[in-house]
Chains A and B, each alone.
Chain A
Amino acid sequence: MSDTLLKVRGLKIGATVYPPGEKPHDIDIVHGVDFDLERGKVLGLIGESGAGKSTIGLASMAYGRGGVKITGGEVWVNGRDVMKSGLKDIRKLRGAEVTYVSQSAAASFNPAKKIMDQVVEAAVEQKKFSRKDAEQRARTLFAKLGLPDPDNIGERYPHQVSGGQLQRCMTALALCPEPDLVVFDEPTTALDVTTQIDVLMAIKEAIADTGVGALYITHDLAVVAQVSDDIMVLRMGNTVEYGNTDQIINNPQEEYTQALVSVRSIEHEEKPPTPEPVLTVRNITARYKGTNFDVLHNVNVELHPGQTLAVVGESGSGKSTLARVITGLLPPRDGQIDFAGRTLSGDLAGRSLEDLRELQMIYQMADTAMNPRQTVGTIIGRPLEFYFGLRGDEKRKRLIELLDEIELGEKFMDRYPAELSGGQKQRVCIARSLAAKPKMIICDEVTSALDPLVADGILKLLLDLQKIENVAYLFITHDLATVRAISDSIAVMYQGRVARYGSKSEVLSPPFDDYTDLLLSSVPEMRLGWLEEVVANRKMESAGN
């Protein structure tokens, strides 16, 4: 047998789409892709959403999500063309020769079954191992992947382990039947940065120990640089560039690859504090109704007019809760919020129309923050009517102004959210909050759901608008690159407390406290060997364990 594990030639993938108001028709997702993967090697597939990288990964298992189907080309696995195999042969391939690790282990584990039953299922069903041997192998893998209590963790249900642990269980599930090829589909994207490192290291070592070949799919070039031998850059179903990792990272040939490598090029000069902060959060302590522990402890921060305060932390650190307290959705147990020279009521019901107008919010999911049955004009026009009573021509004039400010223009007025791209939707949400002429906007992970290049565009827009409108941003994010790009001051949150607070230059300069050090060092860097280096130098355990 040759050493080529996976050979793909001229792969074309299509799907039937059902756009509203149009006849269903076929579209092409992948337009002819070629690559080879040798036994024991790792190929990184990288690209933005819609690049077709997951679709290509699943094609190696002859699987298409929804109406997706392979329309042309060849996919050879272990010397057999899966395109010419019957369903029975394909079933023997899936779960035995090729296995899959998905982005969200939490959704991909059956909530009604124990972890062990699910991890060994494919190996037993495909007659690779007896149930007893498979369980033994699973326990060995649990230990190898650094899971706590590897002998008994399989007896738990998926909801009884953390997200990072479940992602490792998913890796064990994929490795248990001793496959030749594992497709990793964004396996660390849903994890916090500090947890991501542990899982990444576990996956890398497991690949090396078992000698399995892997397709590693991600949108994060810095991550893929740590694990893969070769990298293929994809864009809209086409290969942009294909080469070994060193060449792609250090010497990219194509313009698009260069843009991906150098993303986050925004420079932002830090502004000094003003005498009069627009927002002062004093000694805020808060807990959720029906619970008996505080999720915020004695939080103190300030935000100055026309500046940006970045609130950074991992999931569960309390950063979104802080936003809920400031907006009045969660009345605090203790403490006080001063805004624009007055003290705000802790309860939403106690706030005036003026309070509501001057404090706006933009959300992570632009999709769900807009009514899908209203046009862009109606969505942005609503605050104009509600706060300023604008009607007719006056309203239309202001609408056009706002649409120009977000670089979309008048022609978008009558479109529906479904007709917009992710970045355009977020721009509409920005315009809606600006329409109220606020003094301050809370931005809750506004770029997390966007591709890096699109996210960059949104951040640039926010900074430009800040200069024009002199609006302050409270910017909640888990992404440190974003923090570096746009903030004037930073609050690092950890377990409901502000662990570090000050101007950007202060917070990001040593000496660091242990947590900030862990957080900063966990951000993937685009150079080879970074992962091993950072794991060797860590001072504390990541919060996800």
Chain B
Amino acid sequence: MHPIVKLVAQRLALGALLLLAASALIFGLTEALPGDAAQAILGQAATTESLANLREEMGLDRPALTRYFEWLGGIMTGDMGLALTNKLDIATSIQSRMANTLFLAFWAALISVPLAILLGLIAVRYQNRWPDKMISGVTLASISLPEFMIAYILIFFFAVKLFWAPSFANISPSMDLLDKLHAIALPVAVLVMVVLAHMMRMTRAAILNVMQSAYIETAELKGLSGFQVIARHAFPNAIAPIVNVVMINMAYLVVGVVVVEVVFAYPGMGQYLVDAVVKRDVPVVLACGVIFAAVYILLNIFADVVSILTNPRLRHPK
């Protein structure tokens, strides 16, 4: 078998194992929290008897391990179960919310990744001159502000003062693409500003690191121009670290958007998860948690494989 196929298979197997561990961890942590769904529904005034009744009805009186393995068995066959609180099928509820979250992440990524790499290349080309300093300054400022702060600042100017975009990013399947894009303009802008600096600075650092190599001198002594040297000789050797930081930020766009979704009241996974945690709705928390973990693990495997593929020593063994 080609070593790369073997490697990908290994990583995938390892990822599956990790996912299993993550689900156990999430289950354990929700169990460890004080209170449960029955208490959350009935409130402080509940009697011991009514609590016990509701628990029995919900199946919460059975041992935790039994419930975990039941849930695990279900998810293996594609059944995420029913929400404890409203008895709705979790898979159906998650589907549309996941689609919304991915929609937001997709557009944020589409803008931020090429922009970050381009800005990184420009910063290297004009290292320590004004374009570099300006790019570094602006991106640093945007990463230093908390994201809800950026969100409210953007809302204040573009929604309240200028009326360019709505402050509530509410989208529904009936809207056409342009309307949807208009609705999510502000959250996408916030996300881009949050992830841009990290990726751009990493691109800059990775390429500058490669620029110290002797083969860059060889390229310069061939009479190549500054951009040719960077794009042809430095960039291919900097792909691995760049892909790694890009993937971490992609994962953040999917998993870490909770704050942005809440600020813009966006109907995505983040809000759904927060609601479920408040109501101690363990099956929903588990489902969301496992999906987030899966996204995170898959993106990291992808980054791993790409960085190995860009290494000619592994692609072409002796």
Contact = CB atoms under 8 A, between A and B. Distances in A.
Interface stretch (A7-15, A96-104, A133-141, A214-222): A96-104
A100 B313 CA distance: 26
B78 interface: no
A99 B223 CA distance: 9
Interface stretch (A17-25, A106-114, A382-390, A408-416): A106-114
B215 A109 contact: yes
A110 B237 contact: yes
Interface string A75-98: 000000000000000111111100
Given A111-B312, A111-B313, A91 B225 contact: yes
Interface string B201-236: 000000000000111011111111100100001001
Contact of B217 (A65, A99, A113, A121): A65
Nearest to B235: A112
Interface string A146-184: 000000000011011000000000000100000000000
Interface in B264-318: 310, 312-313, 316, 318
A531 interface: no
Contact of B222 (A65, A94, A111): A94
Most A-side CB within 10 Å, residue of B219, B220, B312: B312
B289 to A, nearest CB: 38
A95 B223 contact: yes
B88 to A, nearest CB: 52
B127 to A, nearest CB: 14
A61 B236 CA distance: 26
Given A111-B313, A112-B237, A125 B221 contact: no
B215 A110 contact: yes
Contact of B215 (A99, A108, A157, A160): A108
A108 B223 contact: no
Nearest to A93: B223
A363 interface: no
Contacts of B223: 90-96, 122, 125-126
B128 to A, nearest CB: 13
A67 to B, nearest CB: 13
B221 A111 contact: no
A501 interface: no
B214 A95 contact: no
B222 A95 contact: yes
A93 B221 CA distance: 9
A159 B219 CA distance: 18
Contacts of B237: 110-112
Given A94-B220, A125-B222, A125-B223, A107 B316 contact: no
A112 B310 CA distance: 8
A63 B313 contact: no
Contacts of B221: 61, 63, 94-95, 99-100
A94 B224 CA distance: 8
A274 B219 CA distance: 58
A122 B310 contact: no
Contacts of B233: 110, 113
Contact of B214 (A104, A113, A121): A104
For the complex of A and B, the 9 pairs showing the least CB-CB separation, nearest first, are: A95-B222, A95-B223, A107-B214, A94-B223, A122-B222, A91-B223, A112-B236, A110-B215, A157-B312
24 contacts: A94-B221, A95-B221, A95-B224, A102-B217, A108-B215, A108-B217, A109-B218, A110-B215, A110-B218, A111-B237, A112-B236, A112-B310, A112-B312, A113-B236, A121-B224, A122-B223, A125-B224, A125-B228, A126-B222, A126-B223, A156-B316, A159-B312, A159-B313, A159-B318
Given A113-B233, A125-B224, A173-B218, 14 more contacts: A65-B217, A90-B223, A94-B222, A99-B221, A100-B218, A102-B214, A104-B214, A108-B215, A108-B217, A109-B215, A111-B215, A112-B312, A113-B236, A160-B318
